[in-house]
């Protein structure tokens, strides 16, 4: 049993490390665009609206909380909202309007032109995430996404679209929260909220 546990530990770490290297090669440019887009959104008085299902819902809440409260140091809050926390809305919308409208309805109610809608989906084929990003674009919001595998339906719908180069849901989720933390750190710097930050 101990040998099996050690094997799992070693294999998962190796798989994760290999994915980190692939992301280093493939995601630097789209990540920079995401950070620039998010910073421009906040600087213009807009907000980030984050959403996803299951583990991606938890990531949306995690990232939004880091932005609103703090990430590395005490600083001014960053306007961010996870669309995955209002249990009344999360039950009424699927019941009354259909599950694919879950996030789109909230975007329609809370989004404003210039805001950034950030959808998170490991497959890129979550109907409620994709529908919401489509509505966001129609309303004049920026639409961005974190996804994986082949990107599903998100490339072309979201820009920037960060596609984690893996077919393993757990590995994709690990990179999504890492990218979320990177976004928090980049925003703190780009918005001038931490020492040495701010765009010169």
**What are the φ and ψ backbone dihedral angles of 158, each rounded to 5 degrees?**
-120, 140
List C-alpha distances in Å: 43 to 97, 176, 177, 191: 34, 24, 24, 7
- SS3 category, 129: helix
The top-level CATH class assigned to 2-190 is alpha beta
Greatest extent of the chain over all pairs of C-alpha atoms, in Å:
56
pLDDT of residue 200: 41
What percentage of the chain reaches a pLDDT higher than 70? Answer: 98
What is the per-residue pLDDT across 49-75, written as a single tens digit (0 to 9) for each? 999 999 999 999 999 999 999 998 999
Is residue 50 within 8 Å of 120, Cβ to Cβ?
yes
42/197: higher pLDDT: 42
Place of tokens 């989004």: 111
Domain ranges of the chain: 2-190
pLDDT of residue 198: 64
* Whether residue 160 has a cis bond before it, omega within 30° of 0: yes
pLDDT mean over 157-161: 97
What percentage of the chain reaches a pLDDT higher than 90? Answer: 95
Helix H, strand E, coil C: the string for 65-119 is HHHHCCCCCCCCCCCEEECCCCHHHHHHHHHHCCHHHHHHHHHHHHCCCCCEEEE
Tell me which residue of 85, 76, 77 sits closest to 106, measured CA to CA. 85
What is the per-residue pLDDT across 87-131, written as a single tens digit (0 to 9) for each? 999 999 999 999 999 999 999 999 999 999 999 999 999 999 999
- Rounded Cα distance between 69 and 66, Å, is 5
- pTM across the whole model: 0.95
Is residue 117 within 8 Å of 143, Cβ to Cβ?
yes
């Amino acid at each position: 049993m101990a040998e099996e546990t050690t094997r799992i530990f070693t294999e998962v770490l190796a798989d994760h490390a290999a994915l980190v290297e692939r992301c280093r090669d493939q995601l630097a440019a789209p990540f920079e665009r995401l950070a620039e887009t998010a910073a421009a959104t906040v600087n213009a008085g807009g907000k980030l609206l984050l959403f996803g299902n299951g583990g991606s819902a938890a990531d949306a809440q995690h990232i939004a909380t880091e932005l609103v409260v703090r990430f590395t140091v005490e600083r001014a809050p960053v306007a961010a909202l996870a669309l995955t926390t209002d249990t009344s809305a999360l039950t009424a919308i699927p019941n009354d309007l259909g599950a694919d409208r879950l996030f789109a309805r909230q975007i329609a109610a809370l989004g404003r032109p210039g805001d950034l809608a950030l959808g998170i989906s490991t497959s890129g084929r979550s109907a409620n995430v994709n529908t919401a990003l489509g509505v966001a674009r129609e309303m004049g919001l920026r639409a961005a996404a974190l996804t994986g595998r082949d990107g599903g339906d998100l490339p072309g719908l979201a820009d920037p679209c960060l596609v984690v180069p893996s077919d393993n849901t757990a590995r994709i989720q690990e990179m999504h929260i890492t990218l979320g933390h990177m976004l928090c750190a980049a925003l703190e710097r780009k918005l001038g909220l931490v020492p040495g930050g701010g765009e010169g």
